[in-house]
Amino acid sequence: MGNKAHAKRRMIAAGVPCVPGFQDSSEQGQSDARLLAEAAKVGYPILIKAAAGGGGRGMRLCADPSALPAALSSARSESLGAFGSGELILERALLGARHVEIQVFADRHGHVIHLGERDCSIQRRHQKVIEEAPSPAVDAELRGRMGAAAVQAARAIAYEGAGTVEFLLDPRGDFYFLEMNTRLQVEHPVTEAITGLDLVELQLRVAAYEPLPLTQDQLQQGGHAIEARLYAEDPYQNFLPGAGPVHLWIPPEGQGVRVDHGLAPGQPVTPYYDPMVAKVIAHGPTRECARRRLARALESLIFFGPANNQRFLLDLLRAPAFIEGAATTNFIEHQLDPSARQRPRPLPRHWALAALLWARRGRPGERTGDPWRSSGPIATPLDLALEGDGAPKAHLRLTFTAPDVLLVEGAPGAAAPLRLHVLEDSGVHLRVDIDGLQRRIAAHLADADAQPALYLSDEGHTFTFREVSPKGARQGAEPLPGDGKIRAPTSGRLVALPHLVGARVAPADVVAVVEAMKIETSLSAGVHGSITSVHAELGALLRPGALLVTITPDEASS
């Protein structure tokens, strides 16, 4: 069942409903010519999947037959790198459906039960982001039918242990087998929360040849549970994976909240593994209670280091379609407000808070001087820049009017100077009065890459500020778009250079492919021109911003 092609053939033989597709593992069946022909029979839009893997790796959605050859090549390459096999299957893409999976357990004494369903419809890159149990789209009658089909699938292969049978559920209530994951899933805690069972313990007992301790009729469920996956990635840059040191990590706490993680301050997040760094789970008597608890937990979570999706998760939980329980697999692309895909910008108070913290704590290794002089308080200039693509800068003037009271002039978007009064400072959390309104924020000054960075967290928003050098130019500045300099967007490995030096390229042509956290990112030329030099070798490990290819634009060469 670990191979999608074999699994689908077995399920079709067992009478389990399957998504229409093509799954031939033979050499002839894996040829591009045969796959192109079969795709025409299956119908578009079509999904290409890696037969040997999961987690969205080696998966491509293709709506146009002309784009299929390139999609097959890309999917095969990613599948080979992630799973050691380039075998592919094809499936008709059921757009607007839900992804609903059934947790099954089986022992070697012939007992097979299911523990209900999980709704995993909210996905990006065909990989799950938020999961919940039970599904808001499944009633008792449908749960019984889907559970029976999952048990039938497990019995058909004499399965033992924990497993997950995944289905697509269409709006009419028809469901189709996708695959079976022969292991516990990342999202198993939501099932544990509503059943009260420890699935890890149960799996170990079954592996020790013990019989299952309960029957299907004895299974009880209570309440609702939702899980959010915290990824080290930039959701505002096409979910580009990130890497780097963890400067500060404080997991959330609260009633009904659970956090699974292995993080510690100082450890690196590397580019060699999946970008998930933690999962936050909330359980409550109702779905709305669980949703609110999870949102509060995510707001209080502190993860300072690589770019992450903390704020994006909050936007997902607060989207009307999710609140109504109407999310489908195209939720992020079509049901989410487009503003949630735009990078949040700091408000005037964030610039002022950053200035306050920079002034109070000083640079690492330095002592903040006394701002008072015989003539009264003095104003100190401070230039700050927000980290990120196209990020703004600000020229600020700071005046301490009393101990722990700062007047900040020049905050972008502020019509007048902002007055900040520090009421409480615990080292990480601060309570600050800003023009009469109190806010509780978290902050940390890290000496990152020999250049201090200030991390500021407010209501789930995390902003990173750096001081601009007195000369006004930051080293390592972002390259200008369309300048012909193709750079690595993140840490990773160079896996493809489709063109040689001297080749002519157009803006949409892919000139390099970087693999990070098992995800391939294609880099386009961005200009009409000729490749004049290649600066890295295939297989090379790259640092963010590393120059890969230089293209001389036509305008520059004329």
CATH number of the structural domain spanning residue 436: 3.30.700
Angstrom CA distances, 300 to 118, 250, 278, 331, 424, stand at: 26, 9, 14, 25, 17
Q: Are residues 422 and 403 both part of a single domain?
A: yes
Is there a domain that residue 4 lies in? no
CA distance 78 to 53: 10
Is there a domain that residue 82 lies in? yes
Burial class (CB in 10 A: 0-12, 13-18, 19+), 542: buried
| End position of a domain, from candidates 437, 467, 497 | 467
Q: What is the 3-state secondary structure (H, E, C) of 210-269?
A: CCCCCCHHHCCCCCEEEEEEEECEECCCCCEECCEECCEEECCCCCCEEEEECCCCCCEE
Q: Are residues 384 and 460 both part of a single domain?
A: yes
pLDDT in 10s for each residue of the chain, 558 residues = 888 899 899 999 999 999 899 999 999 999 999 999 999 999 999 999 999 877 778 899 999 999 999 999 999 988 988 889 999 999 998 888 999 999 999 999 999 999 999 999 999 988 999 999 999 999 999 999 999 999 999 999 999 999 999 999 999 999 999 989 999 999 999 999 999 999 999 999 999 999 999 999 999 999 999 999 999 999 998 898 988 899 999 999 999 999 999 999 999 998 888 899 999 999 999 999 999 999 999 999 999 999 999 999 999 999 999 999 999 999 999 999 999 999 999 999 999 999 999 888 754 333 344 555 555 667 889 999 998 756 789 999 999 988 889 999 999 999 999 999 999 999 899 999 999 999 999 999 987 555 789 999 999 999 999 988 654 444 444 444 568 899 888 888 898 999 989 999 999 899 999 888 767 888 999 899 999 999 999 988 888 788 999 999 987 544
Please report the pLDDT score of residue 363 as a whole number. 44
CA distance 146 to 101: 9
CA distance 513 to 496: 5
Is there a domain that residue 72 lies in? yes
CA distance 345 to 353: 14
Q: Are residues 197 and 330 both part of a single domain?
A: yes
CA distance 1 to 24: 15
Q: Are residues 297 and 372 both part of a single domain?
A: no
Q: Are residues 175 and 33 both part of a single domain?
A: no
Is there a domain that residue 265 lies in? yes
Please report the pLDDT score of residue 557 as a whole number. 45
Is there a domain that residue 416 lies in? yes
Q: Are residues 243 and 359 both part of a single domain?
A: no
Range of the domain at 289: 110-341
Is there a domain that residue 521 lies in? yes
Is there a domain that residue 523 lies in? yes
Are the C-beta atoms of residues 97 and 173 closer than 8 Å to each other?
no
Asked, as a colleague might, if the bond just before 134 is cis with ω within 30 of 0, I would say yes
- Pair of tokens at residue 433: 């009065």
pTM: 0.83
Could you tell me the CATH number of the domain that includes residue 64? 3.30.1490.20
Q: Are residues 114 and 173 both part of a single domain?
A: yes
Please report the pLDDT score of residue 478 as a whole number. 42
Please report the pLDDT score of residue 539 as a whole number. 87
Using only the alpha carbons of the chain, give its radius of gyration.
Answer: 27
Q: Are residues 251 and 303 both part of a single domain?
A: yes
Q: Are residues 446 and 371 both part of a single domain?
A: yes
Please report the pLDDT score of residue 53 as a whole number. 78
Tally of structural domains, the chain: 4
Q: Are residues 402 and 284 both part of a single domain?
A: no
CA distance 216 to 113: 6
Q: Are residues 145 and 233 both part of a single domain?
A: yes
What is the residue whose two structure tokens read 């313990």? 201
Is there a domain that residue 14 lies in? no
